[in-house]
C-alpha cells in the first residue's frame, strides 16, 4: 500500500472518483494548469481535460453558485476555494442556495456538491490564509462539514462527500497537508459522514479535537489516560460516540483553534450538559483560540492552543 | 420599424513614451527636470525594495512576498499624480504607491515579515491597509467617495486592484455605485495580465478591461502601464475630473507581472519563458532611462549615484525593521475592539 501525504491522498481520491464517475468535475481558481496552489489537483487537467477541470475567473461567489447550478443539473461538482478566508463572498450562495435548494424546491432540485478549502492556522501565510470559521457553517442546516485528520481519512471522507446527496464543506487542515504520511489504499473505500473515530482509547478523560489540533492533542495527552475523539464530521456531529465516551470517563475537554466564543466547543459542551451532565465529575473545559482575528506569523504560535494549555486543561479536569 | 443601434463604443489608449524612449511631445505632462528625476528615483526605490524583499524572503527574514517587478511605472506614475490628502485603497501589490506617498518603508518589510504593526498608516496619510481579499476593497473606495460627496468635500478617492479583481462581484458592485452616484473616485487597475496562473484571456471575454466602465456609465481608458508618464497623465486628468464633479474614471494600466505571483508560486509551471522575455524589452525603468537620457537628465554616473542612494535608503529600512522587538503575545488583542470585553481581557492576561 502506498505511503501518501494528505495532498497526495486527496489527489488520488479525486482522480479515482473522476475516473469512476464522469459526472464529477473540479472547478476553482488555479486548479487546472497550475494544479492548485497546494498541488491538490495536480495532473487532473492533463488527464481529464479542460471540460472537467475548470480554471475559473477569480470569483468565489461564481464558483460556488455555479457549482449549485451544475449540481442541480446532474453533475457532481467539487469546487475549490483557494483559502477558507476567501469563502466569505460565497456565503450567500452556500447559505441562501446550496443549503436550502432541497427544502425550497420540496425535493425537486438538490445540490450534491463539495466545496473543498484549506483551513487553519500555523503555516505562516499572509492575512486571511489561516482562518478556522467552521462553526459558521455548522450553524447552517443543510450543509455537512467534514474535517479529515490525516491522509487515510481524507481519501475515504472525500469519496463519501462527493457521493453524498447534499452539499458538503470539506475543510483540509493546511498544516497537515505534508506533515504526515500514512498508508492509503488505492481503490474504493469510504468513511461514512457523521461518524466519529476514537483516535486513542482511554478511561479517565475524553478529549475532542479536529484539524491540526488533533495531532497536537494526541502528542499532548501522552502519559494521560485520555480518550481522544476525532469527529471527522463536525456537522452532523456524532453525538452517540461522544456521549458514550463521556459517560465512561466522566470528564470532557474540547480543543479547537477557532476563537472560543460561539466556537463548536460551545455546542459540544451544551449537548453534553443536556444529555450527560449526571455522568460528569467536573466542568467541561474548552481549550480554544482567543477571541481575536488570527494574528500574522509573529504571533500565531501564541494564538494556537499550545500543548501546555491542553495538558493544563487535563490536569484541571482530573482534579475532580 | 427597422432595427436601430442605440450605443456603440470606443476605448481610448494612451501612450507617451515608446520603448526607445521617444516621447510624443504634445502629450507630455508638464513636469520639471527635477520632477522627472524624482519619478526616476521612485521607480528605482521600488525596484530596489523589491529585490531586497525577495532576498529577505529567501533568507527566511520575511514571509511570502508578492513581487512588483515590471509594474513600477503603473504604481509610481499614478501615485505621483496625487495632490496629497486623497483617500487611497490599495490591494496587496502596490509597494510603489506606498513609497511615493511616503509610507515608511520599514513598515512594509514589517508587514510582509508577519507583523501587523506594519499596517499602521501614519497620521495624515489616508491609505487603507493592504487588502488581501481580492477586490473586496473596491466598495470601500466608492463609499469613501460617497462620504466626500455627502460632506461636500473636493476630495478624490483612488482604488488599486489587479486584472483578476475585475471578475469579483465587488468590482461590479462598486463600479455600479460609482456610476449611479457619479462619485469622485478613480479606479486604477494594474492589468499585469495574470492572476496567479490564470491569463487575462481566461479572466475576461472582453478585448480590454477599460471598456467595462462603459457599462456602468463612466469613462474607461487603457494606458501603457509601463510608461510612467502616460500613467501620470491619465491619473491626473481623472483626479481633476473627479474633484470637479465629473464623476468616476477607470484607468486600465496594461503592464506585465515579470516575477512569480508570490514567493510561494512557480510561474514556470504555467507560462512560457518567451512571453516573459518579450516583456523584458518593455521594462518601464529602462524606457524611462532612455527618455531621460535623450533630455540630458540621465547618464550612467547619475544612475549609479541614484542606485546607491536607493540602496542606502532600503538598507536603513531593513535595519529599522529588524531593530523592532517582536510583538508581545498580548498585542494580538490590541485594536480588536475599541474596548475589550471582560472575557477578552481575561484571555489577554492569560496570553501575556
Ligand atoms: C477573494 C480572494 N480569492 C483568492 C485569493 C487568492 N489570490 C491571491 S492573489 C490572486 C490573484 C489576483 O490576481 P490579480 O487581481 O490580477 O492581482 P495580481 O496578483 O496579478 O496583482 C488570488 C487568486 C485572494 N487573495 N482573495
Ligand atoms: Mg493580475
CB contact under 8 A, B336 and A291: yes
CATH dotted code for B32-351:
3.40.50.970
Q: Is the pLDDT of residue A2 over 90?
A: no
CATH number, domain with residue A154: 3.40.50.970
Q: Are residues A163 and A211 in the same domain?
A: no
- The interface residues of chain B toward chain A in range 79-98, judged by CB-CB distance below 8 A, are 92
A23 domain residue, yes or no: yes
Residue pLDDT, tens place only, B251-288: 999 999 999 999 999 999 999 999 999 999 999 999 99
pLDDT tens-place string over residues A186-203: 998 999 999 999 999 999
Q: Are residues A160 and A234 in the same domain?
A: no
Mean pLDDT of chain A, nearest integer? 97
**Cell triple for residue B177?**
455605485
| Pair (A36, A172) in one structural domain | yes
Confidence grade of residue A27 (pLDDT, cut at 50, 70, 90): very high
| Whether residue A269 sits in one domain with residue A141 | no
- Tell me what pLDDT residue B83 has: 83
| pLDDT the model gives residue A1 | 78
- Please tell me the pTM assigned to this model: 0.97
User: Does residue A188 belong to any structural domain of this protein?
Assistant: no
Q: Are residues A137 and A213 in the same domain?
A: no
Please identify, among A183, A212, A241, the residue that sits at the C-terminal boundary of a domain. A183
Q: Which three cell numbers stand for residue A58?
A: 477569480
Cα A160 from Cα B171, distance rounded (Å): 37
DSSP secondary structure, A143-186, as one string: -EEE---SHHHHHHHHHHHHHSSS-EEEEEEGGGTTT--EE--S
A201 and A146 part of one domain: no
Asked whether the predicted pLDDT for residue B232 surpasses 90, the reply is: yes
Regarding whether A231 and A171 lie in a shared domain, the answer is no
Q: Touching check for B114 and chain A: CB below 8 Å?
A: yes
Q: What average pLDDT does range B194-212 have in this prediction?
A: 98
pLDDT at A115 over 90: yes
pLDDT of residue B136: 98
Name the A residues in 60-79 with CB < 8 Å from any B CB: 61-62
Q: In whole angstroms, what is the distance from residue B24 CA to residue A195 CA?
A: 71
Query: Mean of the pLDDT values across residues A38-66?
Result: 98
Confidence of residue A113 (pLDDT cuts 50, 70, 90): very high
CATH, residue A238: 3.40.50.920
Residues of chain B in contact with residue A57, where contact means CB-CB under 8 angstroms, are: 164, 167, 198, 202-204
Which residues sit opposite B88 in a β-bridge?
A: B127, B158
Q: A201 and A172 share a domain? A: no
Average pLDDT over residues B320-326: 97
Average pLDDT over residues B180-195: 98
pLDDT in tens, A257-311: 999 999 999 999 999 999 999 999 999 999 999 999 999 999 999 999 999 999 9
Determine if residue A121 is left, alpha or beta; phi over 0 gives left, psi from -120 to 50 gives alpha, anything else beta: beta
- pLDDT (0 to 100) of residue B352: 85
Grid coordinates belonging to B29 = 505632462
CB B156 within 8 A of CB B185: yes
Give a yes or no: residue A168 inside a domain: yes
Contact criterion met (CB < 8 Å) for A303 and B332: yes
Contacts of A296 in chain B (CB under 8 A): 63, 114-116
Do residues A36 and A162 both lie within one domain? yes
Give pLDDT, residue A262: 98
- What pLDDT, on the 0 to 100 scale, is given for residue B216? 98
Q: Is residue A189 part of a domain?
A: no
Q: What mean pLDDT is predicted for residues B117-143?
A: 97
Answer yes or no: is A291 within a domain: yes
What's chain B's average pLDDT? 97
Q: What is the mean pLDDT of residues B19-34?
A: 96
> How many independent structural domains does chain A possess?
2
Among A153, A183, A213, the domain-final residue is A183
State which residues form the domain around A267: 197-318
**Quick one: pLDDT at residue B1?**
85
Residues A225 and A114 in one domain: no
Q: Is A196:A167 a contact under the CB 8 Å cutoff? A: no
Do A179 and A310 lie in a common domain? no
Last residue of a domain, one of A161, A183, A205: A183
> Of the candidates B133, B269, B347, which has its C-beta nearest A291's C-beta?
B347
Regarding whether A46 and A11 lie in a shared domain, the answer is: yes
The reply to whether A292 touches chain B by the CB within 8 Å rule is yes
Q: Does the pLDDT value for residue A131 go beyond 90? A: yes
Q: Is residue A221 part of a domain?
A: yes
In a domain, residue A190? The reply is no
Q: What is the DSSP string of B322-352?
A: HHSPPPPGGGGGTTSSSS--HHHHHHHHHH-
Just list the catalytic residues of B.
Answer: 257, 261, 270
pLDDT beyond 90 at B339: yes
Q: How confident is residue A205, by pLDDT bands cut at 50, 70 and 90?
A: very high
Mean pLDDT of A100-115: 98
Buried b or exposed e, range B315-342, using 16+ CB within 10 angstroms: eebbeebeeeeebebbbbbeeeeeebee
Average pLDDT over residues A24-37: 97
Give the burial string for A240-252 (b: 16+ CB within 10 Å, else e).
ebbbbbbeebbbb
At B272, is the secondary structure helix, strand, or coil? coil
Amino acid at each position: 500500500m502506498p505511503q501518501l501525504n494528505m495532498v497526495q491522498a486527496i489527489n488520488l481520491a479525486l482522480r479515482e472518483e473522476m475516473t469512476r464517475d464522469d459526472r464529477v468535475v473540479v472547478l476553482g481558481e488555479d486548479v487546472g494548469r497550475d494544479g492548485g496552489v497546494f498541488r491538490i489537483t495536480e495532473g487532473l487537467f492533463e488527464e481529464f481535460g479542460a471540460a472537467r477541470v475548470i480554471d475559473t475567473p477569480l470569483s468565489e461567489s461564481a464558483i460556488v453558485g455555479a457549482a449549485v447550478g451544475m449540481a442541480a443539473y446532474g453533475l457532481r461538482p467539487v469546487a475549490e476555494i483557494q483559502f477558507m478566508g476567501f469563502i466569505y463572498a460565497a456565503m450567500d450562495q452556500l447559505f441562501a442556495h446550496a443549503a436550502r435548494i432541497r427544502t425550497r424546491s420540496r425535493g425537486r432540485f438538490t445540490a450534491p456538491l463539495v466545496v473543498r478549502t484549506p483551513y487553519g492556522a500555523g503555516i505562516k501565510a499572509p492575512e486571511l490564509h489561516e482562518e478556522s470559521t467552521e462553526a459558521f457553517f455548522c450553524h447552517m442546516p443543510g450543509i455537512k462539514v467534514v474535517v479529515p485528520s490525516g491522509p487515510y481519512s481524507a481519501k475515504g471522507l472525500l469519496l463519501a462527500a462527493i457521493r453524498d446527496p447534499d452539499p458538503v464543506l470539506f475543510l483540509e487542515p493546511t498544516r497537515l497537508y505534508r506533515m504526515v504520511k500514512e498508508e492509503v489504499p488505492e481503490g474504493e473505500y469510504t468513511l461514512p459522514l457523521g461518524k466519529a473515530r476514537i483516535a486513542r482509547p482511554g478511561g479517565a478523560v475524553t478529549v475532542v479535537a479536529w484539524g491540526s489540533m488533533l495531532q497536537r492533542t494526541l502528542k499532548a495527552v501522552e502519559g494521560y489516560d485520555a480518550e481522544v475523539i476525532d469527529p471527522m464530521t463536525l456537522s452532523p456531529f456524532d453525538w452517540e460516540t461522544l456521549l458514550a465516551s463521556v459517560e465512561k470517563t466522566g470528564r470532557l475537554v474540547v480543543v479547537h483553534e477557532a476563537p472560543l466564543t460561539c466556537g463548536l466547543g460551545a455546542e459540544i459542551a451544551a449537548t453534553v450538559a443536556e444529555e450527560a451532565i449526571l455522568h460528569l465529575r467536573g466542568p467541561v473545559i474548552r481549550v480554544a483560540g482567543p477571541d481575536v482575528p488570527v494574528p500574522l506569523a509573529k504571533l500565531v504560535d501564541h494564538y494556537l492552543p499550545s500543548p501546555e494549555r491542553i495538558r493544563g486543561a487535563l490536569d484541571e479536569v482530573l482534579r475532580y | 420599424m427597422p432595427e436601430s443601434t442605440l450605443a456603440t463604443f470606443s476605448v481610448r489608449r494612451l501612450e507617451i513614451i515608446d520603448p526607445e524612449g521617444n516621447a510624443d511631445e504634445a502629450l507630455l505632462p508638464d513636469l520639471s527636470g527635477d520632477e522627472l528625476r524624482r519619478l526616476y528615483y521612485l521607480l528605482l526605490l521600488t525596484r530596489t525594495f523589491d529585490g531586497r524583499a525577495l532576498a529577505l524572503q529567501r533568507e527566511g527574514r520575511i514571509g511570502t512576498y508578492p513581487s512588483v517587478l515590471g509594474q513600477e511605472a503603473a504604481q509610481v506614475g499614478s501615485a505621483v499624480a496625487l495632490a496629497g490628502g486623497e483617500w487611497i485603497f490599495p490591494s496587496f501589490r502596490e509597494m510603489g504607491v506606498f513609497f511615493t506617498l511616503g509610507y515608511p518603508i520599514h513598515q512594509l518589510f514589517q508587514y510582509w515579515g508577519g507583523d501587523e504593526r506594519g499596517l499602521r498608516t501614519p497620521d495624515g496619510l489616508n491609505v487603507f491597509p493592504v487588502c488581501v481579499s481580492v477586490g473586496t476593497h473596491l466598495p470601500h473606495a466608492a463609499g469613501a467617495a460617497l462620504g466626500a460627496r455627502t460632506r461636500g468635500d473636493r476630495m478624490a478617492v483612488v482604488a488599486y486592484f489587479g486584472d483578476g479583481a475585475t471578475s469579483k462581484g465587488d468590482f461590479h458592485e462598486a463600479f455600479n455605485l460609482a456610476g449611479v452616484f457619479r462619485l469622485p473616485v478613480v479606479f486604477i487597475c494594474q492589468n499585469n495580465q495574470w492572476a496567479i496562473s490564470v491569463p487575462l484571456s481566461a479572466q475576461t471575454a472582453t478585448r480590454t478591461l477599460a471598456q467595462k466602465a462603459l457599462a456602468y456609465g463612466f469613462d474607461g481608458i487603457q494606458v501603457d502601464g509601463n510608461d510612467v508618464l502616460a500613467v501620470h497623465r491619465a491619473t491626473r486628468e481623472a483626479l481633476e475630473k473627479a474633484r470637479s464633479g465629473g464623476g468616476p474614471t477607470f484607468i486600465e494600466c496594461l503592464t506585465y507581472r515579470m516575477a512569480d505571483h508570490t514567493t510561494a508560486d512557480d510561474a514556470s509551471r504555467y507560462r512560457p519563458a518567451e512571453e516573459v522575455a518579450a516583456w523584458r524589452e518593455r521594462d518601464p525603468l529602462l524606457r524611462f532611462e532612455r527618455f531621460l537620457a535623450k533630455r540630458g537628465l540621465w547618464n550612467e554616473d547619475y544612475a549609479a549615484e541614484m542606485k546607491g542612494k536607493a540602496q542606502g535608503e532600503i538598507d536603513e529600512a531593513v535595519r529599522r525593521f529588524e531593530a523592532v522587538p517582536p510583538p508581545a503575545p498580548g498585542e494580538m488583542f490590541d485594536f480588536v475592539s475599541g474596548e475589550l470585553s471582560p472575557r477578552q481581557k481575561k484571555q489577554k492576561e492569560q496570553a501575556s
